[in-house]
Structure 1
Amino acid sequence: MDVKNAFLHGDFKEEIYMTPPSGLFSTPSSDVCKLKRSLYGLKQAPRAWFNKFRSTLINFSFVQSQYDSSLFLCKTAKGIVLLLVYVDDIVITGSDFVLISQLQEHLQGSFHMKDLGSLHYFLGLEVHSTPAGIFLHQHKYLQGIVTLAGLQDGRSVDHPLEVNVKYCRDEGDFLPDPSLYRQLVGSLNYLTITRPDIAFSVQQVSQFLQTPIHFHLAAVRRIIRYLHDTSSRGLFFSTGSPIRLVAYSDVDWVGCSDTRRSVIGWCMFLGTSLIAWKSKKQDRVSKSSTESEYRAMSSACSEIVWLRGLLGELGFSQLEPTPLHADNTSAIQIAANPVFHERTKHIEVDCHSIREAYDACVITLPHITTEFQITNVFTKALSRHRHHFLIDKLMLVDHPASI
């Protein structure tokens, strides 16, 4: 469904000079007129549009989510209706079909809108509904990236980055024009919405947007060749999956050779379905692998708390503590036992929020062996066998016909 605000139209620049209509003043005047509507193109126009849209929904008994300001929901005796808005595009879903029809009529009375029917394509995401579940992928978007890189007939590779290769700054010839590199990396970053298997690879090449070298561009082209060979792959959300949150956290200590900072990775599953993940370089140097693991667990814990709140708001409260799997026993002991003062006194207080979550039974901290630590795929480049072994556990599958 595509929604457009009735009064946001035209093409104006930030600096606008308007002449009052003839007849407004009988004699020349220095009076100033107040414009009561936001002109399209001014920086306050998006806020005015969203406030109008928000008030329209609230007047229709919808409530704005406390955990996502773009999400609105309404619970009735027949079920729940959810509305997600992004700029002027919205998705409506739920189990109360009567309320959905009434909502559509209400929105049509306030906005110029076009009903696009069942959800199949949204902001570059392709959606396929099957009896077994929902499949998300970005095949069309990926084809555009391949064309932009000129790799339609290029050779394929079976894993995105070479193993044991460190990507550094200033160790080669700079690209004379980095615009193509920046376009490709930006496009790949958006592609990670449905391709978590390239999250670490894109994180690595994103560090060199300012001054990329030819070696960095070669790494980007390798990622695209890997994607071109697996263009029909995407995320599958099974209808039979239990509504239970499970998390994994890991880190590659001193993973960045330039800054000596570690690369963290975490992922969250709702049953068997992957719903959240991250691959990111830490914002400071950790003095030990235990400290870096502890910081990664704290970051994952913050996401768990947010997801538990959102799920509870949707009617799927997590009654049991969420398991956060980690492979570092020392970090687990620090989180579960506040006695290690000498080893933790230099760690900032905000990282210790994981202790409160542990004590409040929001999370548990089961140990998992490194062999089965799924988040390795978010922290380092892996061999072909190891890479495919781990992404199989992320519920990344091919087109629904093969499910």
Structure 2
Amino acid sequence: MQGKFEMSMMGELTFLLGLQVKQLKDGTFISQTKYTRDLMTKFGIEEKSAVKILMNTSVKMDMDADGKVVDQTRFRALIGSLLYLTASRPDITFAVGLSARFQSAPKESHMTAAKRILRYLKGCQVVGLWYPKEGGFKLIGYSDSDYAGCRVDRKNTSSTYQMLGNRLVSWFSKKQNSIATSTAEAEYIDAGSCCAQVLWMRQQLRHYEVEEKEIPIMCDNTSAIAITQNPVLHSRTKHIGVRYHFIRDPVEKKDITLEYISTDKQLADIFTKPLYESRFEELKHELGLIELS
């Protein structure tokens, strides 16, 4: 590349676009510690106490019709800053996404919830993603859905993430576009989203001469798994949009396999709903989030 482009060698990568990178003998650690501390100063959280969990399990955010209106520009600035932080902090993905739904008319309760995310981050500023050197290249996906979780329009929250070996490489949490009539339908739609991402990642791996077949997608709903394996449209599934049925083709071709996993082992829970502290900390560890000084 130096023969074609003017460039200089600056050594190993240590900082890029707000991401701090530590390349160690056993693996690579990615964090946004400096960026996090800058957010504390920008939004006046330095004097606030830290909290251990992002959201209480009893919290149900809605439009808050009687709440006090807050500065829309400042609220959007906070949400935008937190969204960028999810690049290395998947543990805040659900809470940030939930708060982001109220940017058009934010109330004081929404601002409090968003600032609570900063208070949580204050207690774990140096946490980041750990990518160990060992672990192989086995691709595996997880999909989960929170049925009718949104109090405003009763739509579901979809979440998927993909692991390469034991390394978290892709994840998302968002509200589904359509209203599902059952938990099976919600999980089925979510599995389709996960399938699309997995197939794209498989194509990328082929550029590195890594061939993946029968990629497992872990789902905790047996009815959703049964729908993917049954090509017959009956009264309970014929209303599901055609675009959500594309997952049946890769299942038939054995490009992917949907496998059952019990709910207590479903790691994607952290992207769909508020959790108790013990469960939240357990899933953080499983995702590869550690504190490295």
Among 16, 23, 45, the residue aligned to 1:129: 23
Q: Letter of the aligned partner of 1:363 in structure 2?
A: I
What is the match of residue 332 of structure 1? Answer: 225
Determine the structure 2 residue equivalent to 1:106: 4
Q: Superposition pairs for residues 33-44 of structure 1, below 5 Å?
A: none
Matched, 1:382 2:280: no
In structure 1, give the amino acid aligned to 2:227: I
C-alpha RMSD over aligned residues: 1.2
- Paired residue for 1:164, among 58, 61, 73? 58
Kindly tell me: are residues 173 and 354 of structure 1, through their superposed partners in 2, closer, same or farther at Cα, counting changes over 3 Å?
Answer: same
Percent identical across equivalent pairs?
36
TM-score by length of 2: 0.97
Structure 1: unaligned runs, 5 residues or longer: 1-102
| Aligned positions, number | 293
| Contact 2:70 2:106 (8 Å CA) reproduced | no
Please tell me whether residue 323 in structure 1 is matched to residue 216 in structure 2.
Answer: yes
Look up the equivalent residue of 1:207 and give its one-letter code: R
* Structure 1 Cα separation of the partners of residues 114 and 9 of structure 2: 38
Deviation at 1:190, TM superposition (A): 0.5
Q: Counterpart of 2:174?
A: 280
Q: Structure 2 matches for 1:361-400, cutoff 5 A?
A: 361-399=254-292
Tell me if the contact between 2:70 and 2:111 (Cα under 8 Å) persists in the aligned partners.
no
Q: What CA distance in whole angstroms lies between the structure 1 residues aligned with 2:223 and 2:194?
A: 17
* Residue 79 of structure 2: aligned partner: 185
Alignment of 1:43-82 (within 5 A): none
In structure 1, the partner of 2:131 is 237
TM-score, normalising length: structure 1:
0.71
Stretch deviating more after TM superposition (269-278 or 117-126): 117-126
Shift of 1:155: 0.8
Cα distance, 1:170 vs. partner?
3.6
- d(CA) in 2 for partners of 1:176, 1:146: 19
Distance in 2 separating the partners of 1:115 and 1:181:
41
Q: Which amino acid aligns with 1:333?
A: A
Partner residue in 2 for 1:45: none
Would the aligned equivalents of 1:185 and 1:202 in 2 still touch at CA under 8 Å?
A: yes
Please, which moves more after superposition, 165-174 or 256-265? 165-174
Give the structure 2 partner of residue 58 of structure 1: none
User: Which residue in 1 is equivalent to 2:92?
Assistant: 198
- Is 1:359 the counterpart of 2:252 in the alignment? yes
Q: Deviation per CA, 1:228-281, whole angstroms, max 9, x where unpaired?
A: 111111111111011010111000000100011000111100010000011000
How far did 1:315 drift?
A: 2.0
Q: Match for residue 267 of structure 1?
A: 161
Letter matched to residue 269 of structure 2: N
Q: C-alpha offsets along residues 87-121 of structure 1, whole Å, 9 cap, x if unaligned?
A: xxxxxxxxxxxxxxxx123211xxxx554332111
The farther-off stretch of 167-176 and 187-196 is 167-176
Structure of greater Rg: 1
Query: Aligned AA for 2:57?
Result: V
Could you tell me which residue of structure 1 aligns to residue 118 of structure 2?
A: 224
User: Structure with the greater relative contact order (CA < 8 A, sep ≥ 6): 1 or 2?
Assistant: 2
Looking at structure 1, the residues matched to 10 and 237 of structure 2 have their Cα atoms a distance apart, in angstroms, of 55
* Contact 2:64/2:109 (8 A) holds in 1: no
